[in-house]
Amino acid sequence: MIACINPKYPIPSRTYFAETMIPNLYSEVRQEVMAEIQDAEHSTAAAHLAATATALGMKPLRLIQDVDTRWNSTFDMLER
């Protein structure tokens, strides 16, 4: 269909999406999420959750940040 509209249009390959588009989208979304959760431990909701966890006899957990210098921090963050 694209060839009918514009025959000179180069159709992107799977490699282009895998090596360029997906990593770029991942980086953009990651930056947005990190900006949103940066102050999560300072919010009243986080304090309320910690108090509720303590009242239920659970250990209150804090957010594990993704740190570039710690090789396992991304895994730890996603695992929790």
Task: Tell me the two tokens of residue 24.
Answer: 């770029």
- Going from the C-alpha of 74 to that of each of 1, 23, 38, 50, 64, the distances in angstroms are 42, 16, 15, 23, 8
Judged against a pLDDT cut of 90, whether residue 6 lies above it is answered with: no
Mean local confidence (pLDDT), 24-31: 93
pTM exceeding 0.85: no
Judged against a pLDDT cut of 70, whether residue 2 lies above it is answered with: no
Q: What is the rounded average pLDDT for all residues in the chain?
A: 82
Judged against a pLDDT cut of 70, whether residue 75 lies above it is answered with: yes
Output the pLDDT for position 34.
84
**Neighbouring residues of 59: CB distance < 8 A, sequence distance ≥ 6:** 53
